[in-house]
Structure 1
């Protein structure tokens, strides 16, 4: 499937947020997907992930998660300096600003001519946590969260005291949680905390743990596991095909 790419700068309470869009060229209206990136924003692996889902018949929007702190269009490098910069941004941004951004992208997808109005979300690392929180919006029917950091520690955002676990009852759509057992950022007891809370609140979710490191989905660097990445992408497609409507 041939795809097209562009970007828009969306208005948010904390300033313009560049949002990259990927969609099939073929006429039609396709289910919308919000893709939340790692702390490095729109890197090559994130753009390729967006193209992958667009090529499977989705209208994909990728917001810059640190638009308040970084120049529009900025991509942080996959090195220690880039990681340090992204982690500083992560704990400087207030939680309400993350939520405002998610709502802005959902609204944009619902108004985009390429989108059917049916919304899902996927996120990686911090993006997994942001996809988890985006699922608290009633419009979001499904969320795929890859090794979502900080949920178990309640440490996202300014003050490092987020309320994501408290707000689990607000998640109405289906969740898919994917983890690597060798991920030091979310150890076994942290994963157990998230699992217990989802179970306590009787949410609709699937749970996948692989023998993999943090960032196993990223097709750059030594932690990439192509076999597990491919399996995971097909799990996401199955989730979206089941929960989101097809082209209209």
Structure 2
């Protein structure tokens, strides 16, 4: 996967009786590309989520960023940190069946566009969505950046049992990226995920950047760590290429 010129657009996808907006970025040059669903953070369709979608496209993927909050706050773009409580409130409106419906609609769109494989990348809360989607849907590869709440029942997405317990359903490859200084995801949680993935013989990689905080991937934030971010993007490109 190499950097390429891209084109972007907004589309509407039918999900049951609802309509969900999604941001799409793809290489400008026609070709056969992997498809990627992008799971956003609690800040909704924030410009950093769209920028990540663009970068996936520039690497040679058809990337679809769905509006996971479309049922209660369509096209929400919350302000980083300032709107954290509102974002957590919106996160708590998500449930497993509806999230699977949303991701399934994106996978159908990727199939329609001729994607050669179906994959997902998620960030923070969107990383949780990606992990759960991998247990329920035929994803070839999944990458989750600092996904929270996987080993507890603190949000509806991790109920009735912690999402880690659904790990046996994963059929594709999965990579998890964490910061060692992330106060939201401790070593015990990471070890529990490692144990579950290993016990189920799932092809996986868990990458821990010891000096990185939560949210190290996105430029323009105090938490951004360029050296770890670029290493992550390289690993992510390799994952989608395999």
For residues 66 and 109 of structure 2, the distance between their equivalents in structure 1, rounded to whole angstroms, comes to 11
For residues 168 and 230 of structure 2, the distance between their equivalents in structure 1, rounded to whole angstroms, comes to 31
Residues 201-224 of structure 1: per-residue CA shift (max 9 Å, x gap): 121101111121000112122111
Do the aligned partners of 2:150 and 2:158 also contact (CA within 8 Å) in 1?
no
For 1:202, what is the secondary structure of its paired residue? coil
For 2:101, what is the secondary structure of its paired residue? helix
For residues 164 and 95 of structure 2, the distance between their equivalents in structure 1, rounded to whole angstroms, comes to 17
Unmatched 5+ stretches in structure 2? none
For 1:92, what is the secondary structure of its paired residue? coil
For residues 144 and 150 of structure 2, the distance between their equivalents in structure 1, rounded to whole angstroms, comes to 11
Does residue 218 in structure 1 map to residue 194 in structure 2? no
For 1:30, what is the secondary structure of its paired residue? coil
For residues 131 and 158 of structure 1, the distance between their equivalents in structure 2, rounded to whole angstroms, comes to 11
Unmatched 5+ stretches in structure 1? 243-248
The equivalent residue for 2:228 is: 228
For residues 239 and 135 of structure 1, the distance between their equivalents in structure 2, rounded to whole angstroms, comes to 15
The equivalent residue for 2:54 is: 51
For residues 219 and 124 of structure 2, the distance between their equivalents in structure 1, rounded to whole angstroms, comes to 14
Distance 1:11 1:218, change over 3 A: same
The equivalent residue for 2:150 is: 151
Residues 84-103 of structure 1: per-residue CA shift (max 9 Å, x gap): 11101111222211111111
TM-score (norm 1): 0.90
Larger deviation, residues 165-174 vs 133-142:
133-142
The equivalent residue for 1:245 is: none
The equivalent residue for 2:174 is: 175
For 2:193, what is the secondary structure of its paired residue? helix
The equivalent residue for 1:246 is: none
For 1:96, what is the secondary structure of its paired residue? helix
TM-aligned CA deviation for residue 79 of structure 1: 2.6
TM-score (norm 2): 0.93
TM-aligned CA deviation for residue 189 of structure 1: 1.1
Do the aligned partners of 2:38 and 2:121 also contact (CA within 8 Å) in 1?
yes
State the number of aligned residues. 238
For residues 57 and 225 of structure 1, the distance between their equivalents in structure 2, rounded to whole angstroms, comes to 24
Do the aligned partners of 1:91 and 1:159 also contact (CA within 8 Å) in 2?
no
Counterpart mapping for 1:103-122 below 5 A: 103-112=104-113, 115-122=114-121
For 1:23, what is the secondary structure of its paired residue? strand
TM-aligned CA deviation for residue 174 of structure 1: 0.4
For residues 116 and 163 of structure 1, the distance between their equivalents in structure 2, rounded to whole angstroms, comes to 32
For 2:34, what is the secondary structure of its paired residue? strand
